[in-house]
Amino acid sequence: MTAPMLDRTPGVAGVAGVAEAPATATGTAHAAAAAADPMLPRPFRVTARHLDTRDTVTLALDPLDGVPLAFAAGQFTMLHAFGVGEVPISISGDPRSCGPLLHTIRDVGSVTHALVGATPGTAIGVRGPFGTGWEVGAGQGGDVVVIAGGIGLAPLRPALLELAHDRAAYGRVVLLYGARSPEDILFAGDLARWAAHHRITVEVTVDYGPPDWTGRVGLVTDLVPRAGFDPAHALALVCGPEVMMRAVATALVARGVAPERVRLSMERNMKCGVGLCGHCQLRELFLCLDGPVLGFDRLAPLMDVREL
Amino acid sequence: MAGPAILAPSGLQALLDVLRARGYRVLGPQVRDGAIVLAELADAAALPVGVGDAQAPGRYRLRDGEPDRVFGFATTAQSPKAVLFPPDELLWRGRRTADGFSIEPVAPADEPDHRPVAVLGVRGCDVAAIGIHDRVLLGRAHVDAHYAARREEAFLVAVTCSAPGGTCFCASVGTGPRPRAGSDLVLTELTEPHRFLVEATTAAGEAVLAELPTAPATADDLAAADALVEAATAQMGRSLRTDDLHELLPASAESPRWAAIAERCLACTNCTAVCPTCFCTGVEDASDLTGDLDERHRVWDSCFSLPYSYIHGGAVRTWTASRYRQWLTHKLASWQDQFGTSGCVGCGRCITWCPAGIDLTAEVATIRELAEAHDAVAAASDGDVLGGHR
Ligand SMILES: Cc1cc2nc3c(=O)[nH]c(=O)nc-3n(C[C@H](O)[C@H](O)[C@H](O)COP(=O)(O)OP(=O)(O)OC[C@H]3O[C@@H](n4cnc5c(N)ncnc54)[C@H](O)[C@@H]3O)c2cc1C
Ligand code: SF4
Ligand code: SF4
Ligand code: FES
């Protein structure tokens, strides 16, 4: 068989009437692709499994190849349960730590069920890290309000760890956290530690409280107007169900926080994490690449349209 | 570059032979099951000589074309997308091991009897669509390694379209009927006498051309090709105005038209499957009975399917109207933000293969009319309100 001619670069043809995008160096891109195909999972091993609540588990993972995975607070990975499937999960550990990679996972379906059930020793595939981060540092010199609903506290934990670590660089730091019920409260130890040792104001509210619950009952949104922070110099980080995020962001903007300083972590179906599968699109955004963390200035008009 | 050349009709066999001798698996248009499709081609006699196609919304059939004409039809039913970006691509194989599992990447070259592909008869619309896939899948932050491998080794022989169909509108979106840059060779089928004008557009194309029995083209040949392009341009069944779509469609997110379309749309996903630029995929994990082997496949997916947007708690786009809106808005507007080009090359396939005969060119026109009417009403009532209250 004669070798075919390979001395060509694929042409890039535009559709007339539209501005040409900058020419792309496809040759270089091909070389990069060969080096690291972002679709190939790397095997990690579960080194510890901590039951956070009745349906949520934190897994500690170590890379089998020994190369640690560097990430920014707010980024996610695609976690692969061998023979079951792959889902996007945010990293919940400390971005500064060289220790094991942490993910906090709520059991809601087939893949998360397999992940939550993974015992120490189990191998898990990891792709990533992908996506944008919280950019906590942008809040330095001002107040920071962190608002979480349910499992939404997990993606925010790396940001809170960063705030706690650099506490002196920030003004007031407030965490408003809504859980379904007292027994669904995540990271209770962290919450107590942040409040006691890092001057973080922690306000917890639950949807349903049993008779012996002495804390707050109600929506986390209702805590926003009363939280002590200076809206003109605040950075807000929000993660939770989309309806909750929209309500919270609207309330924050109404209090005077600049929309671009209200950052939300968006959730959509994600199959690739690298902008190729199309699933995570929100109009012109690929939420796996342009997000998941984005400013409310970009998101507000898109969140206003039903089923966009 | 060597100038344009003339190839006799018998020279098509020489072209196939040269490509095959260079190691290509050659695909070309052929009649299969009542349609003209791309299939492996060794013998030029298998080309659809004298066969044409009749395409209309929701309708496709073969018809008698001009006798002797080899490329006297509009488009192949499926585009070369299925070749360079197959509906099911094996990405890797995983194997359980003593200490966990190992992942073995699978490349197209690992297929048994793999050969690089040469496609004969690619229309201008499809050449442009491949250029768009190059941007989407090769030109951004992350590269689709499998597409990169197939694309890099592929050889494309484009053919100027002389018989646009009833659903075609490449002329209005600037992708045809004369193929733009992106292929290796461009053929134009001329008559009286029957002959092919051949132009090489890459070094690879030039090398192939050098091996063909050709004569230099004359000014008359070039003029005949121009006349053919002009005649084909005048025959387009449809047209699409594109200049305002980037603003029009996002601004029409709440247009009543989406619900009206949804009354006809079956969400069957045909349009996205035949569209040469749609690139959405899902992954399927297949494991064997022992659970020791795991395979990851990348498969075509469609924004028209309900599970496509599923997240825990329910799909984001539950209405067909939202899904059609996603498709059209992505294709014609968001695509421009994402990739600097429209996502529609005017091939007309989504119109032809829609069982309900939904025509995006007509829907865009209606959405535009509704938006203009809405603006007019708004302007009028605005005036009234201000006039009355100031
Ligand atoms: C950026 C991002 C970060 C996330 N971080 C976390 C986290 O830290 N902890 C956590 O518990 N959950 C997180 N999720 C949600 C998690 O991905 C889903 O709960 C999970 O995909 C459900 O899969 P399943 O197979 O268990 O559920 P099923 O209901 O069986 O889902 C079937 C399939 O639908 C898709 N799917 C379902 N729900 C979602 C979803 N919410 N998002 C994306 N795809 C979905 C998946 O492909 C899934 O395999 C995150 C989601 C995103 C997009
Ligand atoms: S949207 Fe329709 S006409 Fe346009 S490229 Fe896709 S299939 Fe062809
Ligand atoms: S139109 Fe739909 S299927 Fe086609 S690329 Fe866009 S989102 Fe994917
Ligand atoms: S998850 Fe595939 S494009 Fe974003």
How far, in Å, from the CA of A162 to the mean position of ligand 1?
Answer: 25
Q: Is A4–B131 a contact, with Cβ atoms under 8 angstroms apart?
A: no
Start-to-end CA distance of chain B, whole Å, equals 71
How far, in Å, from the CA of A274 to the mean position of ligand 1?
Answer: 16
Whether residue B389 is contained in a domain is answered as: no
Whether residue A88 is contained in a domain is answered as: yes
Nearest CA to ligand 1 atom 5: A89
Query: In this model, does residue A33 exceed pLDDT 50?
Result: no
Whether residue A2 is contained in a domain is answered as: no
Whether residue B49 is contained in a domain is answered as: yes
Portion of chain A with pLDDT greater than 70, in percent: 89
Q: Same structural domain for residues A170 and A255? A: yes
B310 class by beta-carbon count within 10 Å (0-12 exposed, 13-18 middle, 19+ buried):
middle
Whether residue A308 is contained in a domain is answered as: no
Which ligand neighbours the alpha carbon of B279 most closely?
3
* A75/A290 Cα distance (integer angstroms): 11
- By C-alpha distance, the chain B residue nearest A6 is B153
Beta carbons within 8 Å of A205's beta carbon, 6+ residues apart: A176, A177, A178, A179, A215, A216, A217, A218, A219, A220, A222, A223
Q: Is B283–A271 a contact, with Cβ atoms under 8 angstroms apart?
A: yes
Whether residue B124 is contained in a domain is answered as: yes
pLDDT of the residue at B377: 86
Q: Are B191 and B185 in contact (CB under 8 A)?
A: no
Show which of A83, A100, A130 is a domain's final residue. Answer: A130
The per-residue pLDDT for range A133-160, each reduced to its tens digit, is 999 999 999 999 999 999 999 999 999 9
Q: Same structural domain for residues A151 and A286? A: yes
Q: Same structural domain for residues A156 and A126? A: no
Q: Same structural domain for residues B93 and B217? A: yes
| CA atoms lying within 13 Å on the CB side of residue B53 | 32
* A135/A63 Cα distance (integer angstroms): 26
pLDDT of the residue at B1: 61
Beta carbons within 8 Å of B330's beta carbon, 6+ residues apart: A281, B303, B343
How far, in Å, from the CA of A242 to the mean position of ligand 2?
Answer: 33
Whether residue B160 is contained in a domain is answered as: yes
Beta carbons within 8 Å of A212's beta carbon, 6+ residues apart: none
How far, in Å, from the CA of A188 to the mean position of ligand 1?
Answer: 24
**Ligand 4 pocket residue status of A87, Cβ below 6 Å:** no
Whether residue B22 is contained in a domain is answered as: yes
Running DSSP on this structure, what letter comes out for residue A91? B
* A218/A211 Cα distance (integer angstroms): 15
Q: Same structural domain for residues A99 and A168? A: no
How far, in Å, from the CA of A21 to the mean position of ligand 1?
Answer: 33
Q: Same structural domain for residues B92 and B173? A: yes
Mean pLDDT of all residues in B221-243:
96
- Expressed as residue numbers, the domain containing B224 is 5-234
Of B134, B182, B313, the CB nearest to A26: B134
Mean pLDDT of all residues in A78-105:
95
The per-residue pLDDT for range A268-281, each reduced to its tens digit, is 999 999 999 999 99
Q: Which residue has the tokens 């484009």?
A: B158
Q: How confident is the model at residue A6 (pLDDT cuts 50, 70, 90)?
A: very low
Q: Same structural domain for residues B195 and B263? A: no
Q: Same structural domain for residues B163 and B271? A: no
pLDDT of the residue at B2: 77
The per-residue pLDDT for range B327-371, each reduced to its tens digit, is 999 999 999 999 999 999 999 999 999 999 999 999 999 999 999
Q: Same structural domain for residues B190 and B339? A: no
Pick among A5, A7, A8, A15 to test the B interface (most B CBs inside 10 A)? A15
Q: Are B108 and B260 in contact (CB under 8 A)?
A: no
Q: How confident is the model at residue B290 (pLDDT cuts 50, 70, 90)?
A: confident
The total of structural domains in chain B comes to: 2
Whether residue B385 is contained in a domain is answered as: no
pLDDT of the residue at A11: 33
List the single range of A16-25, A258-267, B232-241, B354-363 with lowest mean pLDDT.
A16-25
Q: Which two tokens stand for residue A188?
A: 């209770």
Q: Same structural domain for residues A119 and A18? A: yes
Size of interface A-B (CB pairs under 8 A): 228
Nearest CA to ligand 1 atom 26: A109
- The pTM of this model reads 0.92
Whether residue A111 is contained in a domain is answered as: yes
Q: Is B338–A29 a contact, with Cβ atoms under 8 angstroms apart?
A: no
CA distance B36 to chain A (A): 25
Query: What is the per-residue burial (b if ≥16 Cβ within 10 Å, else e) of B242-267?
Result: beebbebbbebbebebbeebbeebeb
Instruction: Give the containing element (helix H, strand E) for B26.
Output: strand B25-32
How far, in Å, from the CA of A132 to the mean position of ligand 4?
Answer: 13
Q: Same structural domain for residues A122 and A142? A: no
**Chain B stretch 25-54, residues whose beta carbon is closer than 8 A to a beta carbon of chain A:** none
The total of structural domains in chain A comes to: 2
Whether residue A225 is contained in a domain is answered as: yes
**Ligand 2 pocket residue status of B345, Cβ below 6 Å:** yes
* A74/B302 Cα distance (integer angstroms): 29
Helices (H), chain B: 11-21, 81-84, 124-138, 145-153, 170-173, 203-210, 219-234, 245-251, 257-262, 270-274, 320-329, 335-339, 349-352, 360-389
Kindly report the CATH number assigned to the domain that includes residue A192. Answer: 3.40.50.80
Q: Does B95 touch chain A (CB under 8 A)?
A: no
Q: Same structural domain for residues B135 and B225? A: yes
Pick among B130, B319, B338 to test the A interface (most A CBs inside 10 A)? B338
Beta carbons within 8 Å of A27's beta carbon, 6+ residues apart: A9
Q: Same structural domain for residues B332 and B187? A: no
Show which of B234, B255, B277 is a domain's final residue. Answer: B234
Q: Same structural domain for residues B220 and B157? A: yes
Q: Are A231 and A255 in contact (CB under 8 A)?
A: yes
Pick among B156, B283, B293, B297 to test the A interface (most A CBs inside 10 A)? B283
Q: Give backbone dihedrals phi and psi of A34, rounded to 5 degrees, phi first.
A: -65, -35
Which comes out higher in pLDDT, residue B380 or A263?
A263
Whether residue A44 is contained in a domain is answered as: yes
Q: Is B152–A6 a contact, with Cβ atoms under 8 angstroms apart?
A: yes
Mean pLDDT of all residues in B208-224:
97
Q: Is A283–B279 a contact, with Cβ atoms under 8 angstroms apart?
A: no
Whether residue A272 is contained in a domain is answered as: yes
Please list the helix, strand and coil fractions of chain A in percent, rounded to the nearest 5, in that order. Answer: 30, 30, 45
pLDDT of the residue at B384: 52
Of A33, A123, A305, the CB nearest to B253: A305
Q: Same structural domain for residues A173 and A264? A: yes
Of B94, B203, B345, the CB nearest to A15: B345
Q: Same structural domain for residues B230 and B254? A: no
Mean pLDDT value across chain B: 95
Which ligand neighbours the alpha carbon of A275 most closely?
4
Kindly report the CATH number assigned to the domain that includes residue A51. Answer: 2.40.30.10
Which comes out higher in pLDDT, residue A14 or B196?
B196
Q: Same structural domain for residues B254 and B196? A: no
* B308/B331 Cα distance (integer angstroms): 17
Which comes out higher in pLDDT, residue B291 or B295?
B295
pLDDT of the residue at B383: 53
Q: Same structural domain for residues A92 and A231? A: no
pLDDT of the residue at B379: 82
Whether residue A1 is contained in a domain is answered as: no
pLDDT of the residue at B42: 96
Q: Considering only CB atoms, which chain B residues are within 8 Å of A151?
A: none
Q: Same structural domain for residues B126 and B271? A: no
Query: In this model, does residue A74 exceed pLDDT 60?
Result: yes
**Chain B stretch 346-385, residues whose beta carbon is closer than 8 A to a beta carbon of chain A:** none
Show which of B234, B263, B290 is a domain's final residue. Answer: B234
Report the candidate in B195, B211, B151 with the shortest Cα–Cα distance to residue B19: B211
Whether residue B384 is contained in a domain is answered as: no
pLDDT of the residue at B382: 63
pLDDT of the residue at A16: 35
Helices (H), A166-286: 188-197, 242-254
Query: In this model, does residue A78 exceed pLDDT 90?
Result: yes
Q: How confident is the model at residue B268 (pLDDT cuts 50, 70, 90)?
A: very high
Q: Are A201 and A195 in contact (CB under 8 A)?
A: yes
Does the bond joining B177 to the residue before it have cis omega, within 30 degrees of 0? yes
Query: In this model, does residue B386 exceed pLDDT 70?
Result: no
CA distance A283 to chain B (A): 6
Query: In this model, does residue A164 exceed pLDDT 70?
Result: yes
Q: Same structural domain for residues B296 and B352? A: yes
Q: Same structural domain for residues A292 and A149? A: yes
Which ligand neighbours the alpha carbon of B274 most closely?
2
Nearest-atom number in ligand 4 for the CA of A287 is 4
Show which of B193, B214, B234 is a domain's final residue. Answer: B234
Q: Does B296 touch chain A (CB under 8 A)?
A: yes
Q: Is B153–A4 a contact, with Cβ atoms under 8 angstroms apart?
A: yes
Q: Does B286 touch chain A (CB under 8 A)?
A: no
Whether residue B262 is contained in a domain is answered as: yes
Q: Are B337 and B136 in contact (CB under 8 A)?
A: no
Mean pLDDT value across chain A: 89
- Expressed as residue numbers, the domain containing A30 is 7-130
**Ligand 1 pocket residue status of A89, Cβ below 6 Å:** yes
Does the bond joining B307 to the residue before it have cis omega, within 30 degrees of 0? no
How far, in Å, from the CA of A284 to the mean position of ligand 2?
Answer: 19
Q: Is A19–B340 a contact, with Cβ atoms under 8 angstroms apart?
A: yes
Q: Using alpha carbons, list the distances in angstroms from residue B382 to B254, B375, B385, B389.
A: 20, 10, 5, 11
Q: Same structural domain for residues A55 and A110? A: yes
The per-residue pLDDT for range B116-160, each reduced to its tens digit, is 999 999 999 999 999 999 999 999 999 999 999 999 999 999 999
Portion of chain B with pLDDT greater than 90, in percent: 92
Report the candidate in B131, B69, B87, B36 with the shortest Cα–Cα distance to residue B349: B36
Mean pLDDT of all residues in A221-226:
91
Query: In this model, does residue B105 exceed pLDDT 80?
Result: yes
Q: Same structural domain for residues A142 and A33? A: no
Query: In this model, does residue B324 exceed pLDDT 70?
Result: yes
Show which of A91, A111, A130 is a domain's final residue. Answer: A130
Nearest CA to ligand 3 atom 4: B278
Q: Is A281–B153 a contact, with Cβ atoms under 8 angstroms apart?
A: no
Q: Same structural domain for residues A119 and A233? A: no
